[in-house]
Amino acid sequence: MRETLLQVEHLKKVYESSTGNVEAIGDISFSMSAGELVCIVGPSGCGKTTLLKCIAGLLRSTGGTVELDGKRVTGPPPNMALVFQEYGRSLYPWLTVRGNVELPLKHKKLSRVERDQLIDDALEAVGLEQAAKSYPWQLSGGMQQRVAIARAVAYQPEVLIMDEPFAAVDAQTRADLEDLVRRLHLERGMSILFVTHDIDESVYLGERVIVLSKSPTWVQEDLTIDLAPERDQITTRALPRFTELRTHVYEQVQRAKRGQAVRPAA
Ligand SMILES: Nc1ncnc2c1ncn2[C@@H]1O[C@H](COP(=O)(O)OP(=O)(O)OP(=O)(O)O)[C@@H](O)[C@H]1O
């Protein structure tokens, strides 16, 4: 059995402000094993980003706990990497692609040779060897997002957190980036927690899809995606089972939006 990597227990988040409190997360519990790729979907505004920020130690929860590798998360854990939707803002325009990938490695005690190996390997993994000396602003949106992914790969985190990473790229680039994520997961065993608005994307990518209720949020369903690990944009998406799963998740999200799902007794 795979060991538990991430454990979220009764997480709660209330935003307090002068205009009133917002109970964003009601009570979320789930766990994720090492080497898993888990997708999270839910209605707009249900607290997906809030959840990821709490998991990443960027936001203090109001209640409950997050543990990574058995250690309580109270601030950004060193063994976690994040990739967000806004690739333009996550890359430093004055650094080359190589410089951007190298940056977080400076916090690790590595020799020059080890660092160079990690950077070369990561750039190769995302297919950007030729662009190492370019600057981010010289690249397309999809390529910039590859740089952000290469940076995470080179860092060798225990878990990679991705928040709507492909929402701002065109459909063809998105499909390519989805396949890149699948490959990193399959070939390198990367543990990935992936938030998306796109139901088809969640089923195509995930080994599990967690459906969140609307705010104040709880886990409405934790669904195993029983598709073969080797996936392909054409054949996998054409499978009857793929259609069944995406229809099921779609219906669950619709129920969540309408607030129709019944929360199981604790
Ligand atoms: N800093 C904040 N102060 C007050 N309320 C907030 C704050 N950030 C988020 N919220 C509220 O918390 C709830 C959850 O927001 P969050 O951005 O986490 O949802 P989301 O599921 O990621 O949204 P989307 O699907 O639109 O990206 C929303 O009602 C939002 O208005």
Kindly state whether residues 166 and 261 are assigned to the same domain: yes
Position with higher pLDDT, 250 vs 265? 250
215 lines ligand 1 (CB under 6 A): yes
For the segment 16-45, the average pLDDT, to the nearest whole number, is 93
Kindly state whether residues 142 and 187 are assigned to the same domain: no
- In angstroms, what is the span from residue 230 Cα to ligand 1's centroid? 35
Evaluate the omega torsion of the peptide bond into residue 76 and state whether it is cis, within 30 degrees of 0: no
Nearest-angstrom CA–CA distance, 8 and 47: 14
85 lines ligand 1 (CB under 6 A): no
Q: What is the pLDDT of residue 1?
A: 62
Instruction: Check whether 265 has a pLDDT greater than 70.
Output: no
Q: What is the pLDDT of residue 63?
A: 95
pLDDT in tens, 171-196: 998 999 999 999 999 999 999 999 99
Give the burial class of 47: count Cβ atoms within 10 A of its Cβ; 0-12 exposed, 13-18 middle, 19 or more buried: buried
CA 67 to chain centre: 17
Kindly state whether residues 122 and 246 are assigned to the same domain: no
Q: What is the pLDDT of residue 260?
A: 78
Q: What is the pLDDT of residue 18?
A: 85
The domain boundary, picked from 107, 140, 156, lies at 156
Nearest-angstrom CA–CA distance, 205 and 185: 10
191 lines ligand 1 (CB under 6 A): no
pLDDT in tens, 210-227: 999 998 899 999 999 999
Q: What is the pLDDT of residue 167?
A: 86
Question: Three-state DSSP class for 200?
Answer: helix
Cβ proximity of 55 and 161 under 8 Å: yes
- In angstroms, what is the span from residue 60 Cα to ligand 1's centroid? 14
The DSSP call for residue 47 is S
Q: What is the pLDDT of residue 108?
A: 87
Instruction: Check whether 252 has a pLDDT greater than 90.
Output: yes
Give the burial class of 118: count Cβ atoms within 10 A of its Cβ; 0-12 exposed, 13-18 middle, 19 or more buried: buried
Kindly state whether residues 58 and 188 are assigned to the same domain: yes
The domain boundary, picked from 156, 173, 188, lies at 156
* The two three-digit tokens of residue 187, written as one number: 């070939």
Kindly state whether residues 246 and 235 are assigned to the same domain: yes
- In angstroms, what is the span from residue 118 Cα to ligand 1's centroid? 36
Nearest CA to ligand 1 atom 9: 50
**In the chain, alpha helices (H):** 48-55, 87-90, 97-102, 112-125, 141-155, 171-188, 199-205, 235-238, 240-258
The domain boundary, picked from 116, 138, 156, lies at 156
Instruction: Check whether 262 has a pLDDT greater than 80.
Output: no
pLDDT in tens, 45-79: 999 999 999 999 999 999 999 999 999 999 999 99
* Domain CATH for 171: 3.40.50.300
Cβ proximity of 195 and 178 under 8 Å: no
Kindly state whether residues 208 and 239 are assigned to the same domain: yes
Q: What is the pLDDT of residue 53?
A: 94
Q: Which of 41, 46, 62, 198 to mutate to test the pocket of ligand 1 (most atoms within 8 A of CB)?
A: 46
For the segment 108-116, the average pLDDT, to the nearest whole number, is 91
Edge-to-edge strands, sheet with 208-212 = 71-72, 63-68, 4-15, 22-33, 217-224, 208-212, 37-41, 192-195, 159-163, 80-84
How many domains does the chain divide into? 2
Nearest CA to ligand 1 atom 12: 24
Cβ proximity of 123 and 150 under 8 Å: yes
Closest ligand 1 atom, CA of 164? 27
Kindly state whether residues 71 and 186 are assigned to the same domain: yes
Q: What is the pLDDT of residue 103?
A: 93
Kindly state whether residues 52 and 179 are assigned to the same domain: yes
For the segment 106-126, the average pLDDT, to the nearest whole number, is 92
Q: Which domain holds residue 36?
A: 1-79+158-266
- The percentage of residues in the chain with a pLDDT greater than 70, rounded to a whole number, is 98
Kindly state whether residues 148 and 168 are assigned to the same domain: no
For the entire predicted model, the pTM comes to 0.94
Kindly state whether residues 22 and 93 are assigned to the same domain: no
196 lines ligand 1 (CB under 6 A): no
Kindly state whether residues 124 and 113 are assigned to the same domain: yes
For the segment 160-169, the average pLDDT, to the nearest whole number, is 90
Position with higher pLDDT, 167 vs 131? 131
Kindly state whether residues 120 and 32 are assigned to the same domain: no
44 lines ligand 1 (CB under 6 A): yes
For the segment 4-8, the average pLDDT, to the nearest whole number, is 96
Amino acid at 67: E
Q: What is the pLDDT of residue 17?
A: 85
198 lines ligand 1 (CB under 6 A): no
Q: How confident is the model at residue 168 (pLDDT cuts 50, 70, 90)?
A: confident
* The two three-digit tokens of residue 54, written as one number: 């709490």
Mean pLDDT (the chain) is 93
213 lines ligand 1 (CB under 6 A): no
